Amino acid sequence: MEIPNISRRDSLFRLGTSLGSIAFSSLLAEENRANAKEKPLAARDGHLAAKAKNCIFLMMAGGPSHIDTFDPKPSLKDLHLKEFVREGKQKSAMESGKRYYVQSPFTFRKHGQSGADIADNWVHLAKVADELCFFRGCQVDSVNHPTAMYQMNCGNRFGGDPGIGAWVTYGLGTMNQDLPGFLVLPDVSYPQGGAANWSNGYLPAFYQGTPLRPKGSPILDLKPPTGVTPIRQRMNLDLLAEMNRRHAQQHPEHDDLAARLESYELAFRMQTEVPDAIDISSEDQKTLSMYGIGNDATDGFGRKCLLARKMVEKGVRFVQLYNGTWDSHDYIERAHGNLVRGVDQPIAALITDLKQRGLLDSTLIVWCGEFGRTPDNGIRGGGTTYGRDHNPNAMTIWLSGGGCNAGHTIGATDELGMKAVEEVHHVRDFHVTLLRLLGLDDNKLTYYHAGRFKQLSQFGGKVIDDLIA
């Protein structure tokens, strides 16, 4: 039998499709599992010097309009209610019944020494304009809410990947072992795409987001039943842990068992730590009023922002707040007006409060939606209820604290706000920059899954240097 002459290159290529490759993949997976089981949430240093230790991510689900918040387009005034035609002439939308341009119902002014453009209904945020870094150059890939939400939160339009908070806690752990590293404060109705927006994805279950209930007790069953003492709970957990350890030794392939055990232990520790962390009654009336707590319009989001500040104080690494929906296809003046009224004061209070406590420099705040809005819309109600459609090519994101380039506006959109034209970056670049501010290198923050190393940006991105101070 003739032995084939195989070159070194062919040998290496065949190794990649052979039993050796399968064995190597298995070893990598085992290494990931072993690392995850050994103090998975212990605080760790990042890959680089960090600008921020914590992140508060304000997610305005539904797609807020950049044109009606932080990116004024005065040219739309002359085009208002004229037909939107890409190639041909324009005529009155009342005559055509087709798509038409829409001017903003809000007026704008420049605020702070930075001269930031802010719509006049952002009364409170305008007072902290110099603490903000506006980014107008971001673009995404989808015009559908669920897929766009997944991409903004997880880097992938199709779901199943870890959320940003999961990646951050995987890379850095948390500074308080008695609280989850990644907390989520959703609305009563979950955002489009549901809990997958804060999933651990293929990362170990330790890193998934823990949602707090928006009404009533943020966490159910926080107190043990009457007659069950901490000593009895401890004995029950020790017995359960021993039984589960025996089971895990027989089934080492079930790596989610370790996460389940840790969740029981964390829940036990949370009974001591959480009541104080979620109790806002200890705050003085001046603080409660500053956040708008007690006012019908601002109470809900004010409580979320105050809880976020308390969680950061307690050492929680990543807190994500949801508010929505900003999907204003109709009645944009009323819809956006009400939404802004609900978040303006609480967000400004959060920035001010963190700064007063010396925490703003170490806490990165992010404000965004999943995409922006178009300068035009279709006729509805005879043209009197105009709003805006989805726009993946232009949006405004702003940052505050945490080493961002505060007091600057980075990037720009075209004259009508349809498309980003300066400092244009895909959302993956924004994700890479966010990680960099927290001391993480996206190319090193990887997890081996399904035969390859995966990362938040999917396949790498570029840091947006102008967003960093």
Return the HEC string of 174-214: CCCCCCCCEEEECCCCCCCCHHHHHCCCCCCHHHCCEECCC
Tokens of 78: 């002359």
Mean pLDDT of all residues in 4-17: 51
Tokens of 321: 């707040």
The fraction of the chain above a pLDDT of 90, given in percent, is 67
- Name the strand (E) or helix (H) holding 275: helix 256-278
pLDDT at 15: 46
In contact, 137 and 410? CB cutoff 8 Å: yes
Half-sphere exposure of 118 (CA within 13 A, CB side): 25
Residues in Cβ contact with 384 at an 8 Å cutoff, skipping those fewer than 6 apart: none
Q: What span, in angstroms and rounded, lies between the C-alpha atoms of 15 and 22?
A: 9
In contact, 150 and 332? CB cutoff 8 Å: no
pLDDT at 40: 84
- Name the strand (E) or helix (H) holding 408: strand 408-410
* Whole-prediction pTM: 0.84
In contact, 57 and 320? CB cutoff 8 Å: yes
In contact, 442 and 457? CB cutoff 8 Å: yes
Examine the pLDDT at 388 and tell me if it is beyond 50: yes
Q: What span, in angstroms and rounded, lies between the C-alpha atoms of 109 and 433?
A: 29
Q: How many other CB atoms sit within 10 Å of the CB of residue 265? A: 14
Q: How many other CB atoms sit within 10 Å of the CB of residue 407? A: 17
Identify which of 406, 413, 443, 448 has the alpha carbon closest to the alpha carbon of residue 428.
443
Mean pLDDT of all residues in 349-376: 98
Task: Give the amino acid at 334.
Answer: R
Angle at the Cα of 417 from the Cα atoms of 59 and 345, rounded to 5 degrees:
35
Mean pLDDT of all residues in 415-422: 97
Name the average pLDDT for the chain: 86
pLDDT at 217: 62
Examine the pLDDT at 109 and tell me if it is beyond 60: yes
| 50-97 pLDDT per residue, tens | 999 999 999 999 999 999 999 999 999 999 988 887 654 555 444 455
Q: Which residues pair with 118 in a beta bridge?
A: 109
Give the range among 246-250, 295-299, 341-345 with minimum mean pLDDT. Answer: 246-250
Residues in Cβ contact with 90 at an 8 Å cutoff, skipping those fewer than 6 apart: 79, 82, 83, 84, 101
Provide the H-helix boundaries in 44-104. 76-79, 93-96
pLDDT at 16: 46
| 134-180 pLDDT per residue, tens | 999 999 999 999 999 999 999 999 989 999 999 999 999 999 888 88
